[in-house]
Structure 1
Amino acid sequence: MTTIDDLFKTAKSAMAKCHAPYSRFPVGAAILADDGSVHSGCNIEVVSFPEGWCAETSAIAHMVMAGGSRRIVEIAVVAEKLVACSPCGGCRQRLAEFSGPDTRVHLCDAATGVVETVTMGELLPHSFDTASLDGAENEASA
């Protein structure tokens, strides 16, 4: 069984592999899928901002490419330069699409581990979802 500490260590290991020559802001993420698999990612920058990838986005891509579950039950995010690194707005939306409002998000400090745990619902209380698309489609056809 994967523990919160396991997720933190996996995220920290991913952070060490980042490519952040411009911001010098390494970030790592680890996600636990509902089938028990763990997928990690790091931020990857390119000179054409904002065309790089955030750590959370990389972790989601690894989960999708693994071909198993696509449902996140827990997430850990760690940054080298912050005490508690929260996902950016774009990543909050991406994570919300692969999780639920009760999914736990562990905000970590690189030296000590989990600093705070919040839910996706707290991070993104009014996420854009497929119900939003269905509503827009119904309004357009009326």
Structure 2
Amino acid sequence: MSLVDDARAVRENAHVPYSGFKVGAAIRAASGTVYKGCNVENVAYPEGTCAEAGAIAAMVAGGDLQIAEIAVIADSPKPVSPCGGCRQKLAEFGAPDTRVTLATMDGEEMSTTVGELLPGVFDKDYMSRV
């Protein structure tokens, strides 16, 4: 099973009673373990959780801290891109050259990297005087 297939499968578990927009994400950690997440909406917007954030939380809870690869999928007309907050979260655990596959339910895929998604990332170097 590919990482996109893992993201597609977990997408079905999304809790989206308000938008109806299901998103799935799957992360392969540096250890090789795959962690999955789906978006979870809440009536008290914006208290929901993005699929990417859920997969990252599962990865950290599983004891891994390095993303080797990630796939994100949604039923959208073009490959779905992570929101700004999730781009920053991906940059926290993935190197700039970490592969990101963005996909649609119709099979269209786009490959990019964490660095391409978030140029000018705010990283730990800014905290060097703290």
Q: TM-score range by the shorter chain?
A: over 0.9
Match among 32, 57, 77 for residue 72 of structure 2: 77
Counterpart selection for 2:37 from 41, 46, 50: 41
Q: How much has 1:81 moved relative to structure 2?
A: 2.7
Q: Do the aligned residues in 2 keep the contact of 1:83 with 1:110 (CA within 8 Å)?
A: no
Structure 2 CA distance for aligned equivalents of residues 90 and 82 of structure 1: 22
Deviation at 1:98, TM superposition (A): 0.3
The structure 2 residue matched to 1:132, chosen from 105, 126, 129, is 126
Paired residue for 1:116?
Answer: 110
The correspondence of residues 1-142 of structure 1 with structure 2, limited to 5 A, is: 6-67=2-63, 69-112=64-107, 115-135=109-129, 137=130
TM-score, length of structure 2 as denominator length: 0.95
User: What code does the residue aligned with 1:71 have?
Assistant: Q
Q: TM-score scaled to structure 1, two decimals?
A: 0.87
Structure 1: unaligned runs, 5 residues or longer:
138-142
Letter in structure 1 aligned against 2:72:
V
Larger radius of gyration: 1
Tell me by how many angstroms 1:62 deviates: 0.6
- Unmatched 5+ residue regions in structure 2? none
Q: Percent identity?
A: 49
Q: 1:97 and 1:15 mapped to 2: Cα distance?
A: 23
More strand by share: 2
Runs of 4+ in 1 over 3 A off after TM superposition: none
More helix by share: 1
Residue of structure 2 in register with 1:140 after alignment: none
In 1, the alpha carbon distance for the partners of 2:87 and 2:56 equals 12
